[in-house]
Chain A
Amino acid sequence: MNRDTTAETLLEARDLHTWFELRQWGFLRAGHVRAVDGVNFALRRGEAVAFVGESGCGKSSLARTLLGLHRPTRGEVVFEGGHLEALDKRGLKTYRARVGYVQQDPYGALPPFMDVGRILSEPLIIHGVRDRETRQARVRAALEEVRLTPAESYLSKFPHQLSGGQQQRVVIARALVLEPSMIIADEPVSMLDASVRVEILRLLRNIQVERGLTLAFITHDLSTVRHFAERIFVMYGGRIVEQAEVNELLDHPQHPYTQALLAAIPDPDPDNADREHAVPGGEPPSLANPPPGCRFHPRCPEAMAGLCDRDEPPDFEPRPVHLSACWLHR
């Protein structure tokens, strides 16, 4: 769906595939893990989108491919009109300054032997900010932006001296210090205490709105998405199975997988105490050996024999601006 290839498109993925080669005996080829298997989308400047899916659906591989950490096997990533694959070393470095990365494990994401000041200076040093004063000023500004104030008291702290929430703020500050136009956050709160999750999400959202950033935010938690994203992409088995505006998707889920995901969200309503959720059984598909046809059909309550297990469903548009890859909407 190349609906939005206008000037306001910041990043676009076209038929993106990221496959990892499997080897036997260290050199024999033994097939591929199809982590990202034919993904199309376009992100507009200044919007926040969420990629939702269960573990092993290829969300993180997609994030890494967008960051240029994995080379796509097929397809392309287009950023501000430039093709990521065509970039030389210098171009890739510039691209990396334009896209910030927030990781899942905040403690692991910070080098334990550097203090906060150093951690935040590193990207600036790498991108040629020679002047010490300028660096200091930008580091301080970044710390203030993530509400670590007074900034001075954090500069000489080491990661292990900070709480999980503070660590994640430092990670966010590091992603911001180069003043990117996009931030990719890979499950930014899944390793944090429940008490600070909302805070961090709100912080990310505020920064995104204030700076007009594009925020691609990867999560497996549908319950929080409504407040922090404008559009949702639901991923399953390396593909996007459903996409729409956030309220539209959450209120009118079309794909059986999305419906199952939404049904699995615990709802603290006493009337639900005895209700059973129709959670589909089975495991997420093996990405090395995906099922033929629709990837979801082995678990799908609505699977149609002879169709779903044979032909891959294209994107249908059952409701306006709401795409779902399911033969039900044929």
Chain B
Amino acid sequence: MRRWLEGLKQLRRYPSAVLGMLLILFLVGLSVYTVVAIPYSQALDLWRGGDHWRMHPVNASPVWADRLRGGDLPETQIISSDEVTARVQEFPGGRRLQIPLGFDYQSSAFPSELNLFLRVHDTERPPFVRFIWQAPDGSEQVIGGRRVARDERVSISQDWGLERRLGHVPHVGLMMDPGSGNPSQPEVLTGIHTMLLDVVMFDEAGSVSADLVVYGRVHGIAGTDHQRRDLMVALMWGTPVALAFGLIAAVGTTVTTLVIAAMGVWFRGWVDATIQRLTEVNMILPMLPILVMVGTLYSTSIWLMLGVVVALGIFSAGIKMYRAMLLPIREAPYIEAAKAYGAGDARIILRYMVPRVLPVLIPTFVTLIPTFVFLEASLAVLGLGDPVLPTWGKVLNDAQEQSALYNGFYYWVVSPAALLMLTGLGFAMLGFALDRVFNPRLRSL
């Protein structure tokens, strides 16, 4: 035990090891934070998409990416009726509410979309609502009017009639400067725009609340995808999933491989022969096609994939390597001594043979983790990712399907790829340093 601690202390002398450990520490910290902040079931629910994301823009890039380039692309603004005061006029049998949803718009780029979400409470009789757009220059534009039954989404941007009337898509046509010279290149009229809701209620008790969403073109740290989902969820949840997959697969394969190799060496005879033949057969079986087959024919659950990866990894080339290292150890006098003072087979294998190989195993094990992380990502990119879990590979898969690079959504590919590379880099740097600490003969090379 003390020797391991001393080994860890030695690691401090390798800057690459320190950097690697910091990277791993960051990833572990992120994982812990993620699992606490977004519980598993909530993450699955969020990633399934749908109504959670209705107030997020589609394919918005990260805020920092735009600000770094000196842009002022708009972020999403949500104007809620709860935050404004409505003018109320009573009349026999009902009320008239005038709700001004005003917002200050300063960006030089148009928003990506305009939507209005209306909710009617406490009334059986649907109110009538008229939508009037008031521009900063004092001009007014009546968008239309309709009866609102209960919960309603008014897709202003998809109002074809309005679009025809304005000559532009509504979120441009409503917000452009009419005085700007070239109508084919409209400019934003900055200032306070107001969406005035003129509501007539046929009831005394009922009320109406509304959210005007002025969708931006940038969003958060990670941006959003084609389903309006915040990529942050997938990037964050991808971390614990990737680390768990890599770690479990690496532990599962290396430890079982080592113990099985040691059993073969210790018991010899048919045990050894069986293990060796199994290994030789397994070594010529291609792993990826088998995984693709399992994924296609059976299930793409990440835990099933993990099981298959571990199962195929047990009888791998590692068995041959460990066998070669263990054969001379088997004949060591201390093993004979252990037998002579009564140590049983299990004890000799686990306490006397395996520890001799551990110094070689640990660096291999650490550098093995990212290969499994990459394997999981590759499977996801191939479309065999877990159907419900948000992972880095799934993000890449979506990006590929939506032609992200062709469409210029670089952030969609770069951020999961960067996290994958950081993971690989962190474990590789630590692994190489561990190799030098535990196998000192390499140090002089």
Q: Which of B346-364 contact A (CB under 8 A)?
A: 347, 351-352, 355-356, 358
CA A171 to CA B333, docked complex, whole Å: 11
Q: Report whether A96 and B334 are in contact in the complex, using a CB–CB cutoff of 8 Å.
A: no
Contact between chains at B342 and A97 (CB < 8 Å)? yes
In the complex, the chain B residue whose C-beta lies closest to that of A64 is B336
Q: Are B336 and A174 in contact (CB under 8 A)?
A: no
Assign chain B's interface to a size class: 20 to 34
Sort chain A's interface into a size bin. Answer: 20 to 34
Contact B2 A110 (CB under 8 A): no
- Tell me which residues across on chain A come within 8 A of B347, comparing CB atoms: 126
Instruction: Report B305-337 residues with CB < 8 Å from chain A CB.
Output: 332-334, 336-337
- A105 lies within 8 A of B333 (CB): yes
Q: Does A166 contact B (CB under 8 A)?
A: no
Residue picked from B339, B341, B347, B356, most chain A C-beta under 10 Å: B341
Name the residue on B nearest A99 (C-beta).
B340
Given A113-B3, A126-B347, do A108 and B339 touch, yes or no (CB 8 Å)? no
Q: Whole-angstrom distance between the alpha carbons of A175 and B340 in the complex?
A: 10
Taking CB atoms, residues of chain B closer than 8 Å to A67 are: 340
Q: State which of B2, B337, B355, B358 has its C-beta within 8 Å of the C-beta of A109.
A: B337
B421 within 8 A of A: no
Distance in angstroms from A192 CB to nearest chain B CB is: 15
The answer to whether the Cβ of A252 comes within 8 Å of any Cβ in the partner chain is no
Q: Are B2 and A96 in contact (CB under 8 A)?
A: no
B336 and A103 within 8 A (CB): yes
Q: Indicate if the CB atoms of A101 and B352 lie closer than 8 Å.
A: no
Question: For the complex, is A69 an interface residue (Cβ under 8 Å from B)?
Answer: yes
Taking a contact as CB atoms under 8 Å apart, the answer to whether B343 and A109 are in contact is no
CA distance A148 to B31 in the complex (A): 51
Docked Cα-Cα span, A268 to B356, in Å, equals: 46
Once the chains are docked, how many angstroms separate the CA of A181 from the CA of B340?
14
Chain B neighbourhood of A175, CB < 8 A: 341
Residues on A with C-beta less than 8 A from B336 are 64, 69, 103
> Is B287 at the interface (CB under 8 A from chain A)?
no
If the complex has contacts A126-B347, A156-B2, are A109 and B342 also in contact, measured as CB distance less than 8 A? Answer: no
Do B342 and A123 touch (CB < 8 A)?
Answer: yes
Instruction: Count A-B contacts at CB 8 Å.
Output: 60
Task: State whether B339 touches A122 (Cβ < 8 A).
Answer: no
B338: Cβ under 8 A from any A Cβ: yes
Q: Are A123 and B341 in contact (CB under 8 A)?
A: yes
Instruction: Establish whether residues B333 and A108, one from each chain, have CB atoms under 8 Å apart when the complex forms.
Output: yes
B2, B3, B342, B358 — most chain A CB neighbours (10 Å): B342
Of all chain A residues, the one with the shortest Cβ separation from B3 is A113
Contacts A111-B352, A156-B2 given; indicate if A96 touches B340 (C-beta within 8 A).
Answer: yes
Given A111-B352, A113-B3, the answer on whether A101 and B334 have CB atoms closer than 8 Å is: no
- Nearest residue (CB) in A for B356 is A113
Within 8 Å CB of A258, what residues of B?
Answer: none
B272 to A: closest C-beta gap in Å: 12
Judge whether A93 is part of the interface by a CB distance below 8 angstroms. Answer: yes
Interface residue ranges of A104-156 to B (CB < 8 Å)? 104-105, 108-113, 115, 122-123, 126-127, 156
Task: Kindly state whether residue A294 has any CB partner on chain B within 8 Å.
Answer: no
Q: How far is the CA of A67 from the CA of B347 in the complex (A)?
A: 19
A178 at the interface (CB under 8 A from B): yes
Residues of B with C-beta under 8 A to A101: 337, 340-341
Which of these, B3, B333, B338, contacts A122 with CB under 8 Å? B338
Chain A residues whose C-beta falls within 8 Å of the C-beta of B355 in the assembled complex: 111, 113
A105 neighbours in B (Cβ, 8 Å): 333
Write out the residue numbers on chain B whose beta carbons fall within 8 Å of the beta carbon of A158: 3
Contacts of A126 in B (CB 8 A): 341-344, 347
A100, A104, A174: the one contacting B333 at CB < 8 Å is A104
> Which chain A residue has the least Cβ–Cβ distance from B352?
A111
Which of B333, B340, B342, B352 gathers the greatest number of chain A CB atoms within 10 Å?
B340
Q: Smallest CB–CB gap between A163 and chain B, Å?
A: 18
Shortest CB distance B255–A (Å): 17
Residue contact A109 to B333, C-beta cutoff 8 Å: yes
Measured in the bound complex, the distance between the Cα atoms of B202 and A130 in whole Å is 86
| Residues of chain B at the chain A interface (Cβ within 8 Å) | 2-3, 332-334, 336-344, 347, 351-352, 355-356, 358
The 17 sampled A-B contact pairs (Cβ below 8 Å) are: A67-B340, A68-B340, A96-B340, A96-B341, A97-B342, A99-B340, A103-B333, A103-B336, A108-B332, A109-B337, A113-B3, A115-B2, A122-B338, A122-B343, A126-B341, A156-B2, A175-B341
| Shortest Cβ-Cβ A-B pairs, 7 listed | A108-B333, A96-B342, A101-B340, A123-B341, A109-B333, A93-B342, A111-B334
13 new A-B contacts at CB < 8 Å, known A67-B340, A103-B336: A68-B340, A69-B336, A92-B342, A101-B341, A103-B333, A103-B337, A109-B334, A122-B338, A126-B342, A126-B344, A127-B342, A171-B337, A174-B341
